[in-house]
Amino acid sequence: MPAGTDTVRSQGFARFWFRVGRFISSHILLILFAITTLAPFLWMILTSFKPLDEIHAMNPFPTHWKFSNYSGVLTNKDISFARYYFNSLLVAAWVTFLSCLTSALAGYAFSRLRWPGRDHVFKLYLATLMIPGVVTMIPNFTIMVKLHLLDSYLGLIVPVSFTAFGTFLLRQFMLTIPPSLDEAATIDGASHWQIFWDVILPLARPGLIVLAIFTFLGNYGSFFWPLVIIKSEHLRTLPVGMVYFDTIYGRQTNLIMAASVMNIVPLIILFVILQKYLVRGIQLGAVKG
């Protein structure tokens, strides 16, 4: 057998084992990253089933699974956890709906309509993204005081229902839609509202879903604004309620962990149901935007 054939074969084996080694090492690295990311969540879930005297034990698994931790959170007389749950879901749903609606209308105006100073107004509107939320906290609070919306659902919902990020996101999606569709609809006698509702909005659905997910997740976990605007116990949301929960229960970590698990369940369900739409929307925005 020629020497060149042996050399080619050895090089082929070397490349094969190099690919195998790279495949194994990369997967080991990914597994380590996954374990590092999931470890706090697994600890939280396991701790939520432990009795109080096993919280600081080295064994991560409870010796006696205490499912009553969850019922103890829900039936506690000092904390209206179910009410906090309802408030968070209600406020997050309304903020998501209004944010998607206002952002879609603004995105349509900035992308499909022609009017003087449109691009300059959009740049000014976009510049508000650079303003920290803490800076606008006091003006928003003052407006709520003058409108008598303190300690109310409207005070929780209205100020955060308008977002420059959502307008920018949907504007970029709507810019990718061919203008010929607008022209054809106009020739058929459609009004701007009909074009927006029947033509543009269905085609911008991936962007709407992405915005809805981001808005819901951000508002569901919002803490500072509800803490400032709400005083009544029956209007507290989950992030604010968890503070009082911690204060009342003190070092009863098992009950706090059970409450935390129930807190993140809606977010996990939302992500599992809409993850394919989220990935698809981000991909479309990255490719076309």
Domain limits, the chain: 3-68, 72-288
Q: Read off the pLDDT of each residue in 144-154 and give the average, rounded to a whole number.
A: 91
CA dist., res. 95 & res. 215, Å (int)? 8
Exposed / middle / buried, residue 63 (Cβ in 10 Å: 0-12, 13-18, 19+):
exposed
Residues 88 and 220: beta-carbon distance below 8 Å: yes
pLDDT score recorded for residue 64: 82
- At 73-102, the pLDDT tens digits run 888 777 788 889 899 999 999 999 999 999
At 284 the pLDDT is 57
Span of 81-95, 159-173, 268-282 with lowest mean pLDDT: 268-282
**pLDDT beyond 50 at 1:** no
Q: What is the pLDDT of residues 44-78, one digit of tens each?
A: 888 888 887 888 777 788 888 888 888 888 887 77
The alpha-helical segments, DSSP class H, found in the chain are: 3-47, 68-74, 81-111, 118-127, 133-146, 153-157, 164-175, 179-187, 192-194, 201-203, 205-220, 224-229, 238-249, 253-288
- Residue closest to 226 by CA, chosen among 91, 86, 81: 91
Tokens representing residue 281 in the block: 């929307």
283 pLDDT higher than 60: no
Distance CA 255, CA 252 (A): 6
Q: What is the 3-state secondary structure (H, E, C) of 150-209?
A: CCCHHHHHHHHCCCHHHHHHHHHHHHCCCHHHHHHHHHCCCCHHHHHHHHHHHHCHHHHH
- Computed over every residue of the chain, the mean pLDDT equals 83
Do residues 204 and 214 touch, judged by C-beta distance below 8 A? no
What is the per-residue pLDDT for 179?
Answer: 85
The pTM assigned to this predicted structure is: 0.81
Helix 3-47 / helix 253-288 crossing angle, nearest 10 deg: 140
**pLDDT value of residue 53:** 81
Tokens at residue 97, please?
């709906």
- CATH number for 72-288 (one of 3.40.190.10, 3.40.50.2300, 3.40.630.40, 1.10.3720.10): it is 1.10.3720.10
Q: At what angle do helices 81-111 and 238-249 cross, to 10 degrees?
A: 150
User: Going by C-beta distance under 8 Å and a sequence separation of 6 or more, which residues neighbour residue 60?
Assistant: 42, 43, 46
